[in-house]
Chain A
């Protein structure tokens, strides 16, 4: 195993920069954003250097480790704060730092009018550091630190404009939903430690074949719970829509490209656990399918451009989770879709931010319309992202989604057919809602109701978008060509070199089906939104639309199933505490007070009554003595 001393700087640089910006205060206002961007770019540079170093080595020597310090040392048990950079982590390192740097650059312009821009960049750097720790940790415990770190950064950035109570609430909602998932991760670590006495990936992988399948299933399900929370999958998906309260660059970086895909990373990284736990794998598949359809249905009804994109993110991550559930063959395609999605979704979010920038922060697509001719550059880049996400060849989304659909079809038997049809249907829905977004935003009648025409965004915002667009056009083909990513990740996720169970459907047929599904979705959307679009959302809509507008009642469900009963439990506990526990204490006090009150009456201050008491007392004493002696 090769060692390297560069890895720690990947994390340390953004972390130090974040601390510097937060501690320096107003002094750093003038240059803070530039330092933060430079730090992010240098982390990207380290990543590129490491990539080339890795390419120069033989396959078995590619992973690089670095022990930073001994973290926990109790008797025989030892946990090092060690970093591991292998073929899987390098993909994430480059995605995080690459997209992260572009979004830093974008934010310089996007946040230029915000008085807290320095704080924003400090949080962004904190996020980069935590996310890199998440993907570089060589044990579940190290991963957990990064896992919590990105949760914190996400919370801080969603609530960045916390002077608005709704935004602060959205931040808390995201934090709490993530907390539910984090419980899963900590339980998984505990079960793994109880089973293997080890928490490193390497150590667990070495012992994976000796463990009982029930232990593996338990760990797998707990890891899945963690992934579900972080990646906004069903049933913990409710926070992602509200998380759009954060500034748009945050939505692009954290809630589209990187952090929400951490669940996919977790499952892929734990492939040796899931491969040994078929039950857990099946649950992963089910969750993936539910979420990919769930998100798509929500996306079809949302009028808020960011929330429509968020629903789409949820749906696309559903594809990735589904792919990870399909076993050794699926992991590589999940990561491929993750990378291409990182490009096209970030590019579309930044495009949406650009539209908002030109439209005075309006997010309601019913107040857009015909923006294409005012913001041609944003229109073109958004359009490229659009073609990528719906999966038009040869754009990136086509390759990655096509491979997932193909793997789903080839999962074997009835399961394969069902999964294949579900993913195809998801592709149709994706094509529909994304076409709807594009038509409502860039085409049609102008509905913004004020005189000022939308203006194109500054170059500082357009350059990152265009770079991401290039990625969203080309990344799919580059990763797909010659099975580049598949072979690259093979030592990590598919060492046995497993192939499809059966070739149920030829790849070319799958591609044709996928393209047909997309064409159907697009044409339905065009037919429906070709004419005039009202600037008010129609009231008379069918039940499904109503449900989708309310996020398929996920908030109502959480409220009635968890929040209200929880509150009543708390209330009854409070009552119990107040009435029974406090009541007992108050009773003891009351008895003392009552006794005192009644005894006080004897102390009336009259000498004569004291004298009488003495007489009575003496008499009583004498009578007692007399009775006892006789």
Chain B
């Protein structure tokens, strides 16, 4: 199996994530799609690390996981707070800033 297939998978996952962010309204789903994009990036990093034969990509993947974990904490907190006050998890409802 060619190593390039990992990259194709990574691209497909990233695309699914990106499309999901753009088309879905539910904040939780959008959030999961973002995670999907992050993990697609991770997969690409790891693959490149393997191709290049060093550990740089692996290290960056760890950083990404840490950032993703932090992001999950903050993001979920925001989503929960908005849901509590507005009884809705739709990202389209949270559009008050334009006014």
Interface residues of A, Cβ cutoff 8 Å to B: 603-608, 611-612, 615
Contact = CB atoms under 8 A, between A and B. Distances in A.
User: Interface of chain A, helix or strand or loop or mixed?
Assistant: helix
A213 B8 CA distance: 104
Contacts of A604: 95, 98
B25 interface: yes
B1 interface: no
B97 interface: yes
Interface in B68-99: 91-92, 94-99
Given A606-B91, A606-B92, A611 B98 contact: no
B18 A615 contact: yes
A604 B94 CA distance: 11
Contacts of B92: 606-608
Contact of A608 (B21, B96, B97, B98): B21
A607 B91 contact: yes
B98 to A, nearest CB: 3
A605 B95 contact: yes
Contact of A605 (B25, B30, B96): B96
Interface residues of B, number: 14
Contacts of B30: 607-608
A603 B23 CA distance: 18
Contacts of A615: 18, 21-22
A603 B97 CA distance: 9
A603 B22 contact: no
Interface string B1-40: 0000000000000000010011101000010000000000
Closest 5 pairs (CB-CB, A-B): A605-B98, A605-B95, A607-B91, A612-B22, A611-B21
Contacts of A611: 21-22
Of A607, A612, A615, which is in contact with the most chain B CB atoms at under 10 Å from its CB? Answer: A607
Given A606-B95, A615-B21, 11 more contacts: A603-B98, A604-B98, A605-B95, A605-B96, A605-B97, A605-B99, A606-B91, A606-B92, A607-B94, A608-B25, A608-B91
Of B21, B22, B95, B97, which is in contact with the most chain A CB atoms at under 10 Å from its CB? Answer: B22
A597 to B, nearest CB: 14
Nearest to A600: B98
Nearest to A612: B22
Contacts of B21: 608, 611, 615
Nearest to B96: A605
Nearest to A603: B98
11 contacts: A603-B98, A605-B96, A606-B95, A607-B95, A608-B21, A608-B25, A608-B30, A608-B91, A608-B92, A612-B22, A615-B22
